[in-house]
Amino acid sequence: MKAQAPTAYGHGLSSQARNLHWLLSNLVEEVPGIRSVAVVSSDGLLLLSSDPDRADETARPGGAGGPRGSSADLATIVSGLGSLTQGAAKLMDGGAVKQTMITMDEASVFVMSISDGSLLGVHAAPDCDMNVIAYHMALFVGRAGHVLTPELRTELRKSMESAQ
C-alpha cells in the first residue's frame, strides 16, 4: 500500500511549515516503494507524517501501511533506532550517525539525521530501490534541515496534535 501524502494542512500554518509538508508529500508521491514517512524531533515527538490522520492509531486492518499502521509507531521506531545508533557510534568513537538502514523479509526501514537532531524515518517495501530512497531522503534532509527551527518544530508538533 502506498503511503498517503499529508492532507488538510495549510490553514494557519507558516510558509516554512507548508513548505515542509510539501517536501514530505513530494517524497511520498515521487519515490516508489515508500509505505510511510515520519519526521521525529530529537526528543522523540512526531513532527510530520505521511499519514497524519492516523497518528494515534494502534493498528490498521490487515497490517497495511506503516508499522502497525500508525505514524506514532513509526516515530517510536525511528526515535529508538536513532538513540541506539547514536549510543553505538559513541561507544565505537565513530562520529555522528548519518543514516541507518534495516532490511527485513517484508520491509525496509531507513533513518537519516537532520541537522537539528531531528530524524527522518521511512518505512518501505522490501523490494524498494535503497539507493533511490536514500538519495531522496538526503534531498529532503538538505532542504528541511536549515529551516527546522525550534519555533517551527513547535508549530509542526501542534499541527500534528490538532490533526488527531
Query: What does the pLDDT look like over 88-122, one tens digit per residue?
Result: 999 999 999 999 999 999 999 999 999 778 999 99
Q: Taking a C-beta distance cutoff of 8 angstroms, is the pair 162, 38 a contact?
A: no
Q: What is the CATH number of domain 15-163?
A: 3.30.450.30
Domain boundaries, the chain: 15-163
According to the model, what pLDDT value does residue 52 have? 53
Write down the pTM of the prediction: 0.82
Predicted confidence (pLDDT) at residue 71 exceeds the cutoff of 80:
no
Compute CA distances 153 → 42, 57, 62, 100, 140, whole Å.
10, 22, 33, 23, 16
Percent share of the chain, pLDDT over 70: 81
- Residues in contact with 57: Cβ distance below 8 Å, sequence separation at least 6, in sequence order: 68, 69, 70, 72
In this structure, which amino acid lies at residue 3? Answer: A
According to the model, what pLDDT value does residue 64 have? 47
Per-residue pLDDT band at 12 (split at 50, 70, 90): confident
Per-residue pLDDT band at 146 (split at 50, 70, 90): confident
Q: Taking a C-beta distance cutoff of 8 angstroms, is the pair 49, 160 a contact?
A: yes
